[in-house]
């Protein structure tokens, strides 16, 4: 058998395997981080929810001169009170369930994090000092 027909066979087998698997609900969420010190800060998602499965967050820091980050928190209930570290102007992540994060994104930089997410309510936030309080949070839902 020639190399090329062998390659064709292998490719055919690979396609067969790929199409015979159940559809996996892989999703991508684009996250935009904005705002500089002293200004309003924000976190915008391109969709409010995705189906359960592997979710990749592609995070872009659109600030001019401020680092940001994005932490994925799994909530028990959407109305959970978010614990703060007293006097630190930061969320107390140790008291929450983190599913992963993109840390220390400099202005203009992008990063991504993937996680297998089960159905429920999530909170995305930036936990640099004062940023959560300045508005860097976004609620997010994973559906069945
Ligand atoms: Cu921030």
| Residue 116 Cα to ligand 1 middle (Å) | 24
Cβ atoms within 10 A of the Cβ of 52, count?
Answer: 15
| Residue 20 Cα to ligand 1 middle (Å) | 43
Position 9 in a domain: no
Cα gap 26→82, rounded to integer Å: 28
Position 48 in a domain: yes
Position 44 in a domain: yes
- Structural domain including 49 reads 24-143
Position 56 in a domain: yes
| Residue 109 Cα to ligand 1 middle (Å) | 13
- pTM of whole model > 0.75? yes
| Residue 98 Cα to ligand 1 middle (Å) | 17
Question: In this predicted model, what pLDDT tens digit does every residue of 31-62 receive, in sequence order?
Answer: 999 999 888 899 999 999 999 999 999 999 99
Q: Is the pLDDT of residue 19 over 80?
A: no
Position 119 in a domain: yes
Cα gap 52→58, rounded to integer Å: 17
Position 105 in a domain: yes
Question: In this predicted model, what pLDDT tens digit does every residue of 83-116 receive, in sequence order?
Answer: 999 999 999 999 999 999 999 999 999 999 999 9
Residues with CB under 5 A from ligand 1 (ion): 68, 126, 128, 131, 136
Position 86 in a domain: yes
By CB atoms closer than 10 A (0-12, 13-18, 19+), residue 72 is buried
The closest alpha carbon to 122, from 63, 80, 68, belongs to 80
3-state secondary structure of 114: strand
| Residue 142 Cα to ligand 1 middle (Å) | 23
Number of independent structural domains in the chain: 1
**CATH code, domain carrying 92:** 2.60.40.420
Position 60 in a domain: yes
| Residue 136 Cα to ligand 1 middle (Å) | 6
| Residue 66 Cα to ligand 1 middle (Å) | 7
């Amino acid at each position: 058998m020639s190399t090329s027909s062998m390659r064709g066979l292998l490719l055919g087998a690979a396609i067969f395997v790929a199409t015979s698997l159940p559809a996996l609900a892989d999703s991508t969420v684009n996250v935009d981080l904005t705002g500089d010190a002293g200004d309003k800060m924000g976190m915008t998602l391109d969709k409010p929810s995705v189906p359960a499965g592997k979710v990749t967050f592609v995070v872009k820091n659109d600030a001019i001169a401020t680092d940001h980050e994005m932490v994925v928190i799994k909530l028990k209930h959407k109305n959970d009170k978010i614990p703060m570290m007293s006097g630190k102007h930061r969320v107390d992540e140790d008291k929450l369930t983190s599913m992963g994060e993109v840390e220390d994104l400099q202005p203009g930089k992008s990063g991504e994090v993937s996680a297998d997410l089960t159905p429920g309510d999530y909170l995305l936030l930036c936990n640099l000092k004062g940023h959560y309080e300045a508005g860097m949070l976004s609620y997010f839902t994973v559906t069945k």
